Amino acid sequence: MSSLAQQPGIAEQMAALGSAWLPTEPLSRHTSLGVGGPADLVRVRDLRRLAELIADLRRRGVNWRLLGGGTNLLVVDEGLEDVVLHLRREPDGVRFDGPRVEVPAAANLGTAVMECAKRNLGGMEGLIGVPGTVGGALHMNAGAYGTQIGDVVRAVTVYRGSAGRVEVLRTEDVRFEYRHSSFAANDILLSVSLELPERPYEEILERIKQCNQKRRVSQPIKEKSAGCIFKNPPGHSTGRMIDELGLKGARLGGAVISERHANFIVNRYGATAADIFRLMDLIREKVLKAYGLELEEEVIVWRN
């Protein structure tokens, strides 16, 4: 439980700030892995009042975290003391101006890729099967099949946690690296401006189909997972190493190393976060022993 839950009339006060109060919400409902204990969740309905809401939380001495699509997230079983903010999807969606596109950060990434394709705008085809929100993808510079989202971004409107205000950053102001950006954990991305190359719709669609097909055969897309669990060390494929160690199909509790892609841990039998952590430790240990490499988590872990 968060310290906010103990303050009287909190539901009414959150409502007055344009948000909804969902106490002790199981985060397993909000993560693609389907694990994670409870946290007090604030659903931000009115983005224009975000700064006011956060200033209010700060005054009350409440710590918060931002939940995106929950698709690259592993939350501990005991739940969180921090309040979790969740942005409502903007109903008006993607806006076009020639090759420039303005996408709300809370929009679904796959939907945004398709909307752009319909306007003959390509460059994001590789991202088609990456689950989650546009903001989440940008925060960690998600990528697949030769595309990284950071490459097509021109500007980002962001609530800067450190400054307590909304700023517009240009690409030059942000550093994008492999599965990492220079945004801070308390930066809340609000909208993203992309500049995309114009291409015929059929061409874009063909490439999207190819990427979908590759992903279908090489990744367990129908199972509960958080995508790749570890980063690839430079020059190595973590999936291949885990595979070579014969660990595909290894099970601890309800968690299994996918037979389809060894860098995916799937929640097949009602796993707990603890099962997943144990399987991660096992992988880390074996890879270190066999290859002398220390694996770095790709999945974002939320613990108290």
Instruction: Please report, as ranges, the residues that interact with ligand EPU according to CB under 6 A.
Output: 144-145, 218, 227-228, 231-232, 237, 239-240, 243, 261-263, 298
User: Considering the complex, what minimum distance in angstroms separates the CB of residue 302 from ligand EPU?
Assistant: 17
193 within 8 A of 98, measured Cβ to Cβ: no
Q: Which is nearer to ligand EPU, 60 or 231 (CB)?
A: 231
User: Considering the complex, what minimum distance in angstroms separates the CB of residue 144 from ligand EPU?
Assistant: 4
User: Considering the complex, what minimum distance in angstroms separates the CB of residue 37 from ligand EPU?
Assistant: 23
Q: Which is nearer to ligand EPU, 171 or 237 (CB)?
A: 237
Name the residue with the smallest CB distance to ligand EPU.
227
DSSP-derived secondary structure letter, 171: G
User: Considering the complex, what minimum distance in angstroms separates the CB of residue 101 from ligand EPU?
Assistant: 23
User: Considering the complex, what minimum distance in angstroms separates the CB of residue 240 from ligand EPU?
Assistant: 4
67 within 8 A of 30, measured Cβ to Cβ: yes
Q: Which is nearer to ligand EPU, 94 or 215 (CB)?
A: 215
CB atoms inside a 10 Å sphere around CB 153: 22
Q: Which is nearer to ligand EPU, 91 or 234 (CB)?
A: 234
Beta strands in the chain (DSSP E): 19-26, 38-44, 64-67, 73-75, 83-87, 95-97, 100-104, 143-144, 147-148, 153-160, 165-170, 176-177, 180-181, 187-195, 251-252, 255-257, 265-267, 300-302
User: Considering the complex, what minimum distance in angstroms separates the CB of residue 75 from ligand EPU?
Assistant: 17
Burial pattern 276-297, b for ≥16 Cβ within 10 A else e, equals: bbebbebbbebbeeeeebebee
240 within 8 A of 148, measured Cβ to Cβ: no
70 within 8 A of 30, measured Cβ to Cβ: yes
Q: Which is nearer to ligand EPU, 125 or 275 (CB)?
A: 125
Q: Which is nearer to ligand EPU, 79 or 227 (CB)?
A: 227
